Amino acid sequence: MSSAWNFNNSYLDLPKIFYVQQAPTPVKQAKMVLFNTRLAEQLGLQSLAEQLADTTQTLAGNILPVGACPIAQAYAGHQFGHFTMLGDGRAILLGEHITPAQMRVDIQLKGAGLTAFSRSGDGRAALAPMLRELIISEAMAALDIPTTRGLAVVATGEAVYRTEPLKGAILTRIASSHIRVGTFEYALMRNQKEDLQALADYTIQRHYPEAAQQENPYLALLISVMHKQADLIARWMSVGFIHGVMNTDNMSIAGETIDYGPCAFMNRYDPDTVFSSIDTRGRYAYAQQPKIAQWNLLRFAETLLPLLDDDQQQAIAMAVEPLEKFPEIYEAAWLTRFAHKLGIQQPVAEDLSLIHQLLDMMYVTQADFTNSFRALADNSIHQQAVFQHKEFEPWFARWEQRLRQQSITQAQIQQMMLQMNPAVIPRNHLVEEALAAAQDHDDMHAFEALLEVVRAPFTAPSNPKYSQPPSSEAGYRTFCGT
Ligand code: AMP
Ligand code: MG
């Protein structure tokens, strides 16, 4: 039986300080809970579904596929502003799979057992948070937002102990790579320039090969990562996504959304929205995200200083120049996305006030973020709270006038708006309901139905419950590292 896997493990060529070899710890009774057939097809792994018994054992960590060379990666990070040494405490990288289209992706088992980096943790994960990561990352991918993906969730047949015993599970996570800002912080901490340079060269080769051609490849790397992050955060903002724990170890150098812990989508528009139970000061609130991205990029830039120039002052000057442009780059990305949401193809500076006036009215009327924009796109705005605002009519007239200045047809405008404004996001209350059925009753119906709907977010759902906001979300809280 030929294997679908096509492993080629380039991370092992890095200096040994960047990983420890570690096999997954076998589990008692592996059972496939969800296999992502569509993603498997994109990765050239569709035959895994035909050998489901073997696949289940593989993705539970009970058998190693041919070509895998399991490791736990070393990294550090700033968590809520404080530096810590971390590393994969419960995730094991099986290796890098090369797809038929020659894409290189990490195959990682999250919840695969203890590693040298586990500290006081148990190396395991619970079923509901792994399903949650899978469904929210599927929604993100469908919303055209760069993200890691979930190939499968396998139940382990073992309990994990949190505040109560919970069903254990392992998520197979697919990522362009798991190199984080924190990986570079770790390299800097080790204080060996050769190691840091090896990581930077590897990253350039894997993710930003064009940087190698530039006069200073490391400066080019910094600038590329900065642009990727500006674009990513603008995309998050445009759909009301709140990551919830933007620590530097959770910021991917490849620019993918990674580490779906306490993340959630905003319902009612409020820039201060925070869902994470541990984010008591709102460090990672919705509107803070661009500032935090810049703060994280500053940490990244610091790690590159030894490579930028032998003269530290000179190196700092080189890094500061592009970093100071981050707000501008981000604002431009944000303006483009929000202008497109309003059907404006080529935004100009004056469009900013048009967008902000709308957002201000949404805030005052406690309007639903997703549904207000969607209603502008499908001409049903009168059903939304923002329509009640006394300034709405003049705003609407101004907006229509702005649209008429364009040389595209009304149909083209509407088309653009329907493609930019989702009818469906994974609403927190629906996600919780689906997870409860899976966790408490092994019932995957609600989950699978919701997954189907969030995979087509720009199509109005046949069942209106999928686009309705919750009656109240007072006290809705999300949790980390569960
Ligand atoms: P996260 O909050 O998922 O970004 O994880 C932060 C750090 O805690 C990482 O080093 C994880 O590997 C580690 N960690 C989270 N949960 C566990 C667990 N159950 N066992 C061991 N380490 C964990
Ligand atoms: Mg993390």
| 169 CA distance to ligand 1 middle (Å) | 15
Residues 84 and 170 in one domain: yes
Pocket of ligand 1, candidates 75, 85, 90, 183: which has the most ligand atoms within 8 Å of its Cβ, to mutate?
Answer: 90
Residues 193 and 320 in one domain: yes
Query: Which of 175, 197, 232 is a domain's end point?
Result: 175
Nearest CA to ligand 1 atom 22: 89
Residues 157 and 269 in one domain: no
Residue 415 lies in a domain: no
Residue 29 lies in a domain: yes
pLDDT of residue 341: 98
Residue 128 lies in a domain: yes
Residues 197 and 162 in one domain: no
pLDDT of residue 473: 76
pLDDT of residue 254: 98
pLDDT of residue 456: 98
Nearest CA to ligand 1 atom 16: 481
| 48 CA distance to ligand 1 middle (Å) | 28
Residues 51 and 150 in one domain: yes
pLDDT of residue 120: 95
Residue 370 lies in a domain: no
Q: Is the pTM of this model over 0.95?
A: yes
| 318 CA distance to ligand 1 middle (Å) | 35
| 88 CA distance to ligand 1 middle (Å) | 7
Residues, beta carbon < 5 Å, ion ligand 2: 250, 259
Residues 187 and 170 in one domain: no
Nearest CA to ligand 1 atom 5: 481
Nearest CA to ligand 1 atom 12: 89
Residues 197 and 161 in one domain: no
The minimum-distance atom of ligand 1 relative to the CA of 79 is 6
Residue 397 lies in a domain: no
Query: Which of 333, 367, 389 is a domain's end point?
Result: 333
What is the pLDDT tens value at each position of the chain, 482 positions in all? 468 999 999 999 999 999 999 999 999 999 999 999 999 999 999 999 999 999 999 999 999 999 999 999 999 999 999 999 999 999 999 999 999 999 999 999 999 999 999 999 999 999 999 999 999 999 999 999 999 999 999 999 999 999 999 999 999 999 999 999 999 999 999 999 999 999 999 999 999 999 999 999 999 999 999 999 999 999 999 999 999 999 999 999 999 999 999 999 999 999 999 999 999 999 999 999 999 999 999 999 999 999 999 999 999 999 999 999 999 999 999 999 999 999 999 999 999 999 999 999 999 999 999 999 999 999 999 999 999 999 999 999 999 999 999 999 999 999 999 999 999 999 999 999 999 999 999 999 999 999 999 999 999 999 999 999 998 877 788 887 65
Three-state helix/strand/coil letters over the chain: CCCCCCECCHHHHCCHHHEEECCCCCCCCCEEEEECHHHHHHCCCCHHHHCHHHHHHHHCCCCCCCCCCCEEECCEEEECCEEEECCCCCEEEEEEEECCCCCEEEEEEECCCCCCCCCCCCCCEEHHHHHHHHHHHHHHHHCCCCECEEEEEEEEEEEEECCCEEEEEEEEEEECCCCEHHHHHHHHHHCCHHHHHHHHHHHHHHHCHHHHHCCCHHHHHHHHHHHHHHHHHHHHHHHCEECCCCCHHHCECCCCECCCCCCEECCECCCCCCCECCCCCCCCCHHHHHHHHHHHHHHHHHHHHHHHCCCHHHHHHHHHHHHHCHHHHHHHHHHHHHHHHCCCCCCCCCHHHHHHHHHHHHHHCCCEHHHHHHHHHCCCHHHCHHHHCCCHHHHHHHHHHHHHCCCCCHHHHHHHHHHHCCCCCCCHHHHHHHHHHHHHHCCCHHHHHHHHHHCCCCCCCCCHHHHCCCCCCCCCCECCCC
pLDDT of residue 2: 63
Nearest CA to ligand 1 atom 3: 481
| 431 CA distance to ligand 1 middle (Å) | 23
Residues 113 and 203 in one domain: no
| 476 CA distance to ligand 2 middle (Å) | 22
The minimum-distance atom of ligand 1 relative to the CA of 115 is 21
Residues 20 and 116 in one domain: yes
Residues 160 and 245 in one domain: no
Residues 88 and 185 in one domain: no
Query: Which of 274, 300, 333 is a domain's end point?
Result: 333
Task: Please identify every residue annotated as catalytic.
Answer: 249
Residue 358 lies in a domain: no
The minimum-distance atom of ligand 1 relative to the CA of 91 is 12
Residues 56 and 165 in one domain: yes
How many domains are contained in the chain?
2
Nearest CA to ligand 1 atom 15: 481
Residues spanned by the domain of 53 = 2-175
Q: Which residues line ligand 1 (CB under 6 A)?
A: 86-90, 117-118, 121-124, 249-250, 259, 261, 480-481
Residue 375 lies in a domain: no
pLDDT of residue 474: 74
Residue 297 lies in a domain: yes
